[in-house]
Amino acid sequence: MNTLLQQRGIMVVVTRAVLVVPSTTYRADGFFRAAASMGIEVAIASDADLAIGAMRTAGSRAKSGALGVVKVCLEDPEGAADVIERFARSTPLDAVVGVDERAGMVANAAAMRLGLPHNPPGAIAASRDKIAMRAAAARGGINQPELRVVTTVDDAREAARSIGLPCVVKPASLSGSRGVIRVDEERDLPGTLERVRKVLAAAGEDPCSPVLLEKFVPGAEVAVEGILDGGRLLPIAVFDKPDPLDGPYFEETLYVTPSRHEPAVLRRVLDAAEAAALALGLERGPVHAELRIDRGQPFFIELAARSIGGYCSRSVVAEGSWTLEELILSNSLGWELPSLPEDSAQLVIGASGVMMIPIARSGVLQSVEGLVSARSVPMVTEVTIAVHSGQPVVALPEGDRYLGFIFARGPSAAEVEGAIRDAYAELDIRIVDVPGPIVE
Ligand code: ADP
Ligand code: CA
């Protein structure tokens, strides 16, 4: 069709993007669909042949006109950027987009080489290292918990005395609350530090690396899902986390939007999230920020250069509006993003929520009963169990996954929250002991 038009002397503007897709992701499909709906041709950069085969199928299924596939090593962003740069010599590109945070580092390095819009080098890396992130936020004057970087038990004691208890000990390099532990008594510090070190080792990180000791900030927690456009934060949704997150471990269970905090408080939260992103040097792309609100004042907890994790992106999609992936693609192409609906502080209209079903204790998942009843609770749109029966499950602070997800959509945040809780109450989750010792 395009060739025909070109033969007739009609100029056809084709938009092309490379999607950087890790073999382990389940998020590629949403991006293929978005590209297809926006008329964008996509090529795929991935780290596995197998994935590439699957992507080809997914690409053609989504009619996104996959342009080709290139193999890259995602552990080596500069090497991967080389490959994409070479590819761009024969196939001019308008954008390079990572479908998750790690792929985003590769996409950013490639976009920089190609003279496409990108974040300053180092900004995404800073957001992945909590010590660098805290230092950048401090330089930017962001309100955040008082903290120290500690290595030894003596450091930790001294830090706790100076900051005051309760405090939170956490690794600099992990995510999903892995290894994040509240400490109330000084005598618990050595054991907690030891436990964090074991979690680091199990995650393949240096167990001796410095960790953070932060003042525990009480109060409600919110997550801000947004997209940076030239340094301005466009709020996609602010989620309340209505389950108290008081520790000692910090399982995030419920996310519900819109937030029920006062508009003035929400304004401060959004301003703080935007300022934190800028302090890290981020100017564009999706961000997921977490903040605590203590007596109306936001305290910055963390910010990641990615959209809301995994399955949760589904709760962002509002009927008939932009999908998260469409927003991300448009942003990376420098296209105009939608403006906020009238009288709304966020793009997402209507109430929705998700529960990341917690793993109550470590063991082996024996069975999950009650799925049919849970799914039939009004307003519940989906209940997914992500672990097979017979598989081991590990609770926090050592664990690194959820048991599954419950999604709901409804007229108000309170009703959505109620529906999710009702659905959860229908589930009978049986976890039995692991035969033999649990390896932590
Ligand atoms: P991760 O990257 O592992 O998610 P976070 O820094 O986001 O690490 O910590 C996980 C959770 O632990 C947060 O969502 C919050 O509930 C809790 N938390 C972390 N730091 C603090 C703090 N200083 N005060 C209170 N709660 C905290
Ligand atoms: Ca977090």
222 lines ligand 1 (CB under 6 A): no
Tell me what pLDDT residue 58 has: 53
Token pair recorded at residue 53: 């085969």
The structural domains of the chain, with segments of one domain joined by +, span 3-118, 146-215, 218-345, 350-440
Find out whether 72 and 106 touch, Cβ atoms under 8 Å. Answer: yes
Name the burial class of residue 119, with classes exposed (0-12), middle (13-18) and buried (19+) by CB atoms within 10 angstroms of its CB. buried
249 lines ligand 1 (CB under 6 A): no
Give distance in angstroms: CA of 255 to centre of ligand 2. 13
Tell me what pLDDT residue 401 has: 86
Tell me what pLDDT residue 63 has: 45
DSSP 8-state code for residue 397: T
Q: What is the pLDDT of residues 332-349, one digit of tens each?
A: 999 999 888 888 889 888
Q: What are the residues whose beta carbons fall under 8 Å from the beta carbon of 146, sequence distance 6 or more? A: 163, 214, 215
Taking the CA of residue 218 as reference, the ligand 1 atom at the shortest distance is 25
Measure the CA–CA gap between 105 and 77, rounded to whole angstroms. Answer: 6
pLDDT tier, 52 (very low <50, low <70, confident <90, very high otherwise):
low
Tell me what pLDDT residue 64 has: 44
Measure the CA–CA gap between 130 and 210, rounded to whole angstroms. Answer: 11
Percentage of the chain with pLDDT > 90? 72
Tell me what pLDDT residue 102 has: 85
Tell me what pLDDT residue 307 has: 84
Strand partners, 226: 235, 287
Asked whether residue 317 carries a pLDDT value surpassing 50, the answer given is: yes
Q: What are the residues whose beta carbons fall under 8 Å from the beta carbon of 134, sequence distance 6 or more? A: 144, 147, 212
Question: Across the chain, what does the average pLDDT equal?
Answer: 89
Token pair recorded at residue 345: 């502080």
Find out whether 152 and 143 touch, Cβ atoms under 8 Å. Answer: no
The terminus-to-terminus CA distance of the chain in angstroms comes to 59
Q: Per-residue pLDDT averaged across 19-30, rounded?
A: 82
Q: In CATH terms, are 3-118 and 218-345 the same topology? A: no
175 lines ligand 1 (CB under 6 A): yes
Give distance in angstroms: CA of 74 to centre of ligand 2. 23
Tell me what pLDDT residue 349 has: 84
Neighbour count for residue 57 (Cβ, 10 Å): 10
- Calculate the alpha carbon distances from 24 to 52, 100, 277, 296, 366 in Å: 11, 10, 27, 40, 25
Q: Per-residue pLDDT averaged across 313-337, rounded?
A: 79
Tell me what pLDDT residue 120 has: 93
Q: Which CATH number fits domain 218-345: 3.90.110.10, 3.30.470.20, 1.20.120.850, 3.10.620.30?
A: 3.30.470.20
Tokens 């564009």, residue located: 284
Asked whether residue 436 carries a pLDDT value surpassing 80, the answer given is: no
213 lines ligand 1 (CB under 6 A): no
Tell me what pLDDT residue 61 has: 47
Give distance in angstroms: CA of 148 to centre of ligand 1. 15
Tell me what pLDDT residue 313 has: 61
Q: What is the pLDDT of residues 74-133, one digit of tens each?
A: 989 999 999 999 999 988 999 999 988 889 999 999 999 999 999 998 999 999 999 999
Asked whether residue 420 carries a pLDDT value surpassing 80, the answer given is: yes
Instruction: Based on DSSP, count helices (H) and strands (E) in the chain, helices before strands.
Output: 13, 19
CATH class of 3-118: alpha beta
Q: What are the residues whose beta carbons fall under 8 Å from the beta carbon of 436, sequence distance 6 or more? A: none
pLDDT tier, 320 (very low <50, low <70, confident <90, very high otherwise):
low
The yes or no reply on domain 146-215 and CATH 3.60.15.10 is: no
Long-range contacts of 28-31 (CB under 8 A, 24+ apart): 28/55, 28/58, 28/99, 29/58, 29/62, 30/313, 30/323, 30/324, 30/325, 31/97, 31/99, 31/325, 31/328, 31/329
Tell me what pLDDT residue 341 has: 84
Q: What are the residues whose beta carbons fall under 8 Å from the beta carbon of 138, sequence distance 6 or more? A: 144
Ligand 1 pocket mutation, candidates 177, 182, 249, 402, criterion most atoms within 8 A of CB: 177
The strands making up 40-46's β-sheet, listed across from edge to edge, are: 69-71, 40-46, 15-21, 95-98
Give distance in angstroms: CA of 250 to centre of ligand 1. 7
Homologous superfamily of 350-440 in CATH? ATP-grasp fold, B domain (3.30.470.20)
Ligand nearest to the CA of 130: 1
274 lines ligand 1 (CB under 6 A): no
Name the burial class of residue 222, with classes exposed (0-12), middle (13-18) and buried (19+) by CB atoms within 10 angstroms of its CB. buried
- Calculate the alpha carbon distances from 96 to 106, 384, 439 in Å: 9, 31, 41
Ligand 1 pocket mutation, candidates 222, 290, 297, criterion most atoms within 8 A of CB: 290
DSSP-derived pairing of the beta strands 69-71 and 40-46? parallel
Q: What is the pLDDT of residues 376-400, one digit of tens each?
A: 999 999 999 999 999 999 999 999 8
The strands making up 181-183's β-sheet, listed across from edge to edge, are: 147-150, 211-215, 167-171, 181-183
Position 272: which residue type?
A
Strand partners, 302: 290
Asked whether residue 186 carries a pLDDT value surpassing 90, the answer given is: yes
Query: Which of 27 and 35 is assigned the larger pLDDT?
Result: 35
118 lines ligand 1 (CB under 6 A): no
Query: Which of 60 and 423 is assigned the larger pLDDT?
Result: 423
Name the burial class of residue 254, with classes exposed (0-12), middle (13-18) and buried (19+) by CB atoms within 10 angstroms of its CB. buried
Atom 10 of ligand 1, nearest CA residue: 177
Neighbour count for residue 301 (Cβ, 10 Å): 22
178 lines ligand 1 (CB under 6 A): yes
Token pair recorded at residue 163: 């900051």
Measure the CA–CA gap between 288 and 238, rounded to whole angstroms. Answer: 10
Q: Per-residue pLDDT averaged across 13-28, rounded?
A: 84
Tell me what pLDDT residue 1 has: 41
Atom 22 of ligand 1, nearest CA residue: 216
